[in-house]
Amino acid sequence: MAPGEWKWYVEYTSDYHGYFYAIRDYICSERTAFQKVDIFDTFTYGKMLVLDGKIQSTEFDEHIYHEALVHPAAIMHQAPEQVMIVGGGEGAVLREICRYKQVEQIVMVDIDARVIELCREHLPEWHRGCFEDPRVEVLHQDARRYLEETAGRFDIIYSDLTEPEEEGPSKLLFTRSFYDLVKNKLKPGGICAVQSGGFSLDYLNVHAAVRNTMQLSFNTIKSYHTFIPSFDSSWGYIIGCEDEKFFEISRKDIDKRLRNLDGVLRFYDGEAHEGMFCIPVDIRKALKEDHTVIEDHKPLSFK
């Protein structure tokens, strides 16, 4: 079959730029109460989850994205027992947290029950049955309201959300008020880890705004990043905590702690950790020049 005969999925990153992915098969496509969901099988990256026109993860490289989000915070904390996930519908963040034997409770709060249903059915390679782990509680409600009402406290709170589009379901889960709430729901010594958008010069506005906003809530924040092939971009994450000593962990100590996990990681280890926290001069400069803060009354603009 010639390229012109294939069906293509196109993701536009701006009015002038986008990416093409050849589709082998359509698995499902529907609109939930909150967002548009598409799952494709692509020639290059295998299965692909797309929400509101934005790729969330693919079969080929989801392990990079999810290991990068989960393990730096968990390894630095050393002994997380209560963990919360905000979002994370595929179940892959859940999968990685379930590797930690000392974790006693995992609360996953994702407002869109239908997305989780579709991922459980069509993306078993992502969750690998972890929704059935007895430590896991899945709640379908607004994560912000849950945090406002719960008496629980957590060692780590992970945020794995879609970008804070003005009309999207996640816009109030990236604001200063939300991060203040997250900080107050962490135990002493707790950590917040957030996926925070692209980390290249032409796609840095989300990360910069999230970083500026978290900086108002946490004593210490650190950006880190890794390249995600299916995104064709370096992708950013941020850790927020109160004690800068968390970041002094050595490559040797990381590898030692990883030996206690269930299963073997494919991407993350001590050497990868060191590389992810190295940020080039031009990115550091651009981050310093952006002063955007996301407030409840002032969501991030993509115009």
78 and 20 part of one domain? no
Quick one: 218 and 242 in the same domain? yes
How many DSSP H helices and E strands does the chain contain?
Answer: 10, 12
- Whether residues 137 and 182 share a domain: the answer is yes
pTM of the model: 0.95
160 is a domain residue: yes
| Residue 297 domain flag | no
Report the CATH number that the domain containing residue 284 is assigned in CATH: 3.40.50.150
Whether 105 is in a domain gets the answer yes
- Report the alpha-carbon distance of residue 229 to residue 226 in Å, rounded: 10
Number of separate domains in the chain: 2
| Domain range for 168 | 62-289
Q: Does residue 222 lie in a domain region?
A: yes
- Residue 47 covered by a domain: yes
Smallest CA-to-CA distance from 49 within 160, 207, 164 is with: 160
Residue 296 lies in a domain: no
**Is 118 contained in some domain?**
yes
Residuewise pLDDT in 10s, the chain (303 residues) = 555 678 999 998 788 888 899 999 999 999 999 999 999 999 999 999 999 999 999 999 999 999 999 999 999 998 999 999 999 999 999 999 999 999 999 999 999 999 999 999 999 999 999 999 999 999 999 999 999 999 999 999 999 998 887 667 788 999 999 999 999 999 999 999 999 999 999 889 999 999 999 999 999 999 999 999 999 999 999 999 998 889 999 999 999 999 999 999 999 999 999 999 999 999 999 999 999 999 999 888 765
* Residues 191/183, Cβ–Cβ less than 8 Å: no
Same domain, 94 and 224: yes
Is 160 marked active-site? yes
Cβ neighbours of residue 207 under 8 Å, at least 6 residues apart?
A: 196, 197, 198, 199, 223, 236, 238, 287
Do 92 and 207 share a domain, yes or no? yes
Q: Kindly name the residue from 15, 61, 160, 290 that is annotated as catalytic.
A: 160
- Do 122 and 239 lie in one domain? The reply is yes
| Residue 299 counted as domain residue | no
Compute, in degrees rounded to 10, the torsion defined by CA atoms 225, 228, 231, 232. 90
Instruction: Give the DSSP per-residue string, 204-257.
Output: -HHHHHHHHHHHTT-SEEEEEEEEEGGGTEEEEEEEEES-GGGGG--HHHHHHH
